[in-house]
Structure 1
Amino acid sequence: MFGGGGGGLNPRKMEQMMEQMGIDVEDIDAEEVIIRTDEHDLVFDDAEVTKMDARGQETYQVIGSPAKVESGSADDSGGTDDADAGSSIPDDDIDLVATRAGVSEDEARAALEDNGGDLAAAIESLE
């Protein structure tokens, strides 16, 4: 991660230094990461995600190559099954929230709608 060759830091030594500074590092087994912007969505499949907690301040690092997807593409298509259920929330998002939070699809849909489609916020509100 910090370069090959003789000048790189030893990962174990780096972990020890971070622990001494009060920084906890945790790998997250993420299946998908979506970053939504006004213009487009960045979708990372099989991304490497690391959470660093430095005295209560959480930082997430995402490593991978995202696919650029048109923002709100499920809302604008008009013909997809996801939008036909009377909701602009994609079925995949509902399934993901229901699975992660251990709730029914109806509860997951309501949480997503209450949180503007934000997956992380919806899961957090259900936990």
Structure 2
Amino acid sequence: MFGGGGGLNPRKMEQMMEQMGIDVEDIDAEEVIIRTDEYDLVFNDAEVTKMDARGQETYQVIGSPEQVESGAAGGSADAGGDADAGSAIPDDDVELVSARTGVSEDEAREALEDVDGDLAAAVESLE
């Protein structure tokens, strides 16, 4: 369909995306973690690009992940104990659990803290 010398010139591609209203931004990420029910994929020193196409944000992660046991990645943020527990749980997660279950944000935060930030487990414990 496209005649080819192995792809488009990056500058030409950038111009075309700009004409279509797509903003591209490189993100200086130190680590990217993708959590699944069974394992975490940890990208160290990944190249991350954010594309914003009229309000729809898409992230591209380039790198080789290390597969680790579920919940093992990023554990240091939770290691502070009860004094840090409020800051370890993102407010967005608290709001999501609260909205999904109809409980107060305080109850949602407590449920999230009890399950180390696992959204599904917190919702399940409150339903």
TM-score range, shorter chain: 0.5 to 0.7
Q: Output one character per residue of 1:15-73: Cα deviation in whole Å (capped at 9) or x when no partner.
A: 00000000000000000000000010000000000000001000000000000001134
**Alpha-carbon offset, residue 109 of structure 1:** 2.1
Amino acid at match of 1:108: S
| SS of corresponding position for 1:72 | coil
1:17 aligns with 2:16: yes
**Runs of 4+ with deviation above 6 angstroms:** none
| SS of corresponding position for 2:88 | helix
Counterpart position of 2:48: 49
1:93 aligns with 2:92: no
Counterpart position of 2:87: 108
Q: TM-score, normalised by structure 2?
A: 0.60
CA pair 7-70 structure 1, distance change in 2 beyond 3 A? closer
Unaligned runs of 5+ in 1: 75-88, 96-103, 119-127
Q: How many residues are paired up?
A: 91
Amino acid at match of 1:56: G
Structure whose alpha-carbon radius of gyration is higher = 2
Give RMSD over aligned pairs. 3.0
| SS of corresponding position for 2:90 | helix
Q: Distance in 2 between matches of 1:53 and 1:111?
A: 23
Q: Distance in 1 between matches of 2:14 and 2:89?
A: 41
Q: TM-score, normalised by structure 1?
A: 0.60
| SS of corresponding position for 1:19 | helix
1:64 aligns with 2:72: no
Q: Output one character per residue of 1:54-110: Cα deviation in whole Å (capped at 9) or x when no partner.
A: 010000000000000011348xxxxxxxxxxxxxx83x3359xxxxxxxx9565224
